[in-house]
């Protein structure tokens, strides 16, 4: 029987900061900023809390500098606001409406379920369009597209099965940004890594890839 890996998740408080952490089998402690511009700690299983706090104290100036930098990139939406394809809309719920309707800067929907279904359907249309657009460049054909809410990445690719997973939250982003994420995942059908060859191929197909990718990091909703 295969031995299951040990993983412990939680929240660690350090002064006014709160760090989501995961304790697992690692050699070194890692502190990173995820795609939602939040700090994430990956902690070796043998580390005690005092070891982690000592690390955070040692890097406090860097943490504060990064927090100040990313605070300007976070967008906090009201409960009746949402981004759709890079544009902010005011959401109006009206139980008398049968279909989701967009007019100027407003999105009308019967309820939250209707809105969710609309976003999923729109994602399927947009994602399928770009996969068909770029499929010519790849001998291996995509076998399945899965759309779901993901917490730590915009997409993923199973190189062996040719399965593409895409984050529903991509529908918040501009169309050009969505396209660059999809092409990124398609490129993994050939290169199941992020080495030099991967990026050479990607930039050959999409010369402005780096500029498009930047918008993923410049705004967190």
pLDDT per residue as tens digits for the range 156-191: 999 999 999 999 999 999 999 999 999 999 999 999
CB atoms within 10 A of CB 80: 12
pLDDT over threshold 60, residue 140: yes
62 and 93, same domain (yes or no): no
Instruction: Point out the domain boundary residue: 15, 49, 71.
Output: 71
Long-range CB contacts (within 8 A, 24+) of 145-151: 147/120, 147/123, 151/36
pLDDT over threshold 60, residue 52: yes
Query: What's the pLDDT score for residue 35?
Result: 66
110 and 28, same domain (yes or no): no
Percent of the chain with pLDDT over 70: 91
Closest residue by Cα to residue 87 from 177, 200, 173: 173
pLDDT over threshold 70, residue 218: no
Backbone angles phi, psi at 106, to 5 degrees: -130, 145
Query: What's the pLDDT score for residue 76?
Result: 67
177 and 130, same domain (yes or no): yes
Domain that holds residue 20: 7-71
pLDDT per residue as tens digits for the range 15-50: 888 888 888 888 889 888 876 677 888 999 888 888
Question: Are 121 and 129 a contacting pair, CB within 8 Å?
Answer: no
- Report the CATH number that the domain containing residue 198 is assigned in CATH: 3.30.2010.10
Q: In sequence order, what are the residues at sequence separation of 6 or more whose Cβ sits closer than 8 angstroms to the Cβ of residue 113?
A: none
* Model confidence band, residue 80 (pLDDT cutoffs 50, 70, 90): confident
**CA-to-CA dists, residue 126 to 70, 157, 195, angstroms:** 29, 18, 28
pLDDT per residue as tens digits for the range 85-139: 989 899 999 898 889 989 999 999 999 999 999 999 999 999 999 999 999 999 9
DSSP SS3 for 7: strand
Residue 89's DSSP bridge partners are: 82
Query: What's the pLDDT score for residue 137?
Result: 95
């Amino acid at each position: 029987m295969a031995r299951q890996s040990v993983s412990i998740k939680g929240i660690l408080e350090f002064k006014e900061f709160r760090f989501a952490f995961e304790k697992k089998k690692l050699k070194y402690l890692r502190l990173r900023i995820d795609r939602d511009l939040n700090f994430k700690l990956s902690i070796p299983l043998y580390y005690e809390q005092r070891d982690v706090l000592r690390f955070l104290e040692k890097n406090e100036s860097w943490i504060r500098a990064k927090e100040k930098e990313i605070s300007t990139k976070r967008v906090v939406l009201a409960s009746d606001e949402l981004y759709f394809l890079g544009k902010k809309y005011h959401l109006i719920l009206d139980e008398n409406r049968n279909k989701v309707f967009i007019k100027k800067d407003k999105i009308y929907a019967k309820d939250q379920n209707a809105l969710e279904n609309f976003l999923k359907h729109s994602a399927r249309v947009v994602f399928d369009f770009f996969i068909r657009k770029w499929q010519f460049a790849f001998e291996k054909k995509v076998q399945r597209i899965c759309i779901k809410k993901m917490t730590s990445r915009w997409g993923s690719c199973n190189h062996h099965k040719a399965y593409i997973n895409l984050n529903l939250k991509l529908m918040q982003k501009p169309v050009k940004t969505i396209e660059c994420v999809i092409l990124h995942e398609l490129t993994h059908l050939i290169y199941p890594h992020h080495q030099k060859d991967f990026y050479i191929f990607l930039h050959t197909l999409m010369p402005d890839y780096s500029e498009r990718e930047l918008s993923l990091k410049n705004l967190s909703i």
